[in-house]
């Protein structure tokens, strides 16, 4: 697992260990590893944007004479932030893609020979944002749309080599990642230029309030971890799993509604969360 320090990642690691698997659990800090370490869970320091960390993980897997075949690579490391397309600096876009997309590609490229040799599986943790881009989700959703595309291509490329590729699309999940995303968004919004504050400040406030409301009703990290563990281990997995009722609903709507009607549905859902002095921005309800 590429990101198991907290939340869904830690819950998935514990569930896989409970099912009898030995989990190499990627963590960013030794303290996170100490908190996670247990029977069946071996924390490894891993930053998927650092080539040396990825190489060390490959060496750990391939040099162990007692190692069992690599059953699955779970690509779940990630960061979230909600920011308008215009306002998010290009260097921040690039940093987001480094973690949420390119790091996963690096892990896949590094471990594919081992996965092919053992008939393993790749589980990419996308998001409901990989199917529908809400207002202020542009940068984050872009990384997840890209991961969905990579997963589709990879599944078709590897089908004759015995490696399955599964995508998991969580919606609202009560986890530390959600809290960190809200904190990062608030910090970002506070330092926007005054003209961008006027243009997008109310929209960001509404998006944060809506997200908080959804997360309050969302699945627990343990429930999400159980679904991810299923995706990694059951004999015949589906190509995609949604996590949570909100994810299932939005994915279904993106399949059946015309774009402009979907725009109006999304705008209507956001409107109750807008500050009372604000009017719904035109851009929210138009394509």
Task: Give the architecture (CATH level 2) of 7-173+220-257.
Answer: 3-Layer(aba) Sandwich (3.40)
263 class by beta-carbon count within 10 Å (0-12 exposed, 13-18 middle, 19+ buried): middle
pLDDT at 278: 56
Mean pLDDT of the residues in the chain: 92
pLDDT at 283: 43
Higher pLDDT, 277 or 49: 49
The string of pLDDT tens digits covering residues 90-145 is 999 999 999 999 999 999 999 999 999 999 999 999 999 999 999 999 999 999 99
- Over residues 62-72, the mean pLDDT reads 85
Does pLDDT of 80 surpass 80? yes
Q: 157-166, 222-231, 275-284 — which is least confidently predicted?
A: 275-284
pLDDT at 100: 97
How is the chain split among helix, strand and coil, in percent rounded to 5? Answer: 60, 10, 30
pLDDT at 277: 66
Three-state DSSP at 207 gives helix
Residue 241 known to be catalytic: no
Residue 27 has φ and ψ, to the nearest 5°, of -135, 155
Provide the residue ranges of all domains of the chain, joining segments of one domain with +.
Answer: 7-173+220-257
Does pLDDT of 285 surpass 80? no
Distance, in Å, from the CA atom of 7 to the CA atom of 247, rounded to the nearest integer, reads 18
pLDDT at 65: 75
The pTM (predicted TM-score) of the whole model is 0.91
Task: Catalytic residue, from 82, 137, 140, 200: name it.
Answer: 140
Confidence band of 287 (pLDDT split at 50, 70, 90) = very low
The string of pLDDT tens digits covering residues 229-268 is 999 999 999 999 999 888 999 999 999 999 999 999 999 9
Q: What is 84-111 written as a DSSP string?
A: -TTTS-HHHHHHHHIIIIIHHHHHHHHH
Distance, in Å, from the CA atom of 177 to the CA atom of 157, rounded to the nearest integer, reads 32
């Amino acid at each position: 697992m590429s990101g198991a320090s907290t939340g869904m990642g830690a819950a998935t690691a514990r569930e896989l260990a409970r099912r009898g698997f030995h989990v190499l659990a990627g963590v960013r800090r030794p303290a996170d590893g100490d908190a996670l370490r247990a029977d069946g869970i071996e924390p490894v320091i891993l930053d998927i944007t650092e080539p040396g960390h990825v190489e060390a993980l490959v060496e750990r897997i391939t040099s162990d004479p007692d190692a069992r075949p690599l059953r699955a690579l779970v690509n779940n490391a990630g960061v979230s932030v909600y920011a308008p397309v215009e306002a998010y600096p290009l260097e921040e876009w690039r940093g987001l893609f480094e973690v949420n997309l390119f790091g996963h590609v690096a892990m896949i490229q590094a471990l594919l020979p081992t996965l092919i040799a053992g008939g393993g599986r790749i589980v990419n943790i996308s998001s409901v944002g990989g199917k529908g881009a809400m207002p202020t989700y542009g940068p984050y959703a872009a990384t997840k749309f890209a991961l969905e595309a990579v997963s589709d291509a990879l599944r078709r490329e590897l089908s004759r080599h015995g490696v399955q590729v599964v995508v998991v699309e969580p919606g609202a999940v009560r986890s530390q990642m959600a809290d960190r995303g809200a904190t990062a968004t608030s910090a970002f919004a506070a330092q926007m230029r005054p003209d961008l504050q006027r243009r997008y400040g109310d929209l960001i406030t509404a998006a944060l309030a809506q997200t908080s409301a959804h997360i309050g009703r969302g699945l627990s990290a343990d429930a999400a971890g159980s679904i991810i563990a299923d995706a990694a281990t059951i004999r015949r997995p589906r190509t995609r799993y949604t996590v949570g009722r909100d994810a299932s609903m939005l994915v279904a709507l993106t399949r059946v509604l015309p774009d402009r009607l979907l725009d109006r549905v999304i705008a209507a859902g956001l409107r109750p969360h807008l500050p009372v002095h604000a009017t719904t921005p035109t851009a929210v309800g138009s394509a």
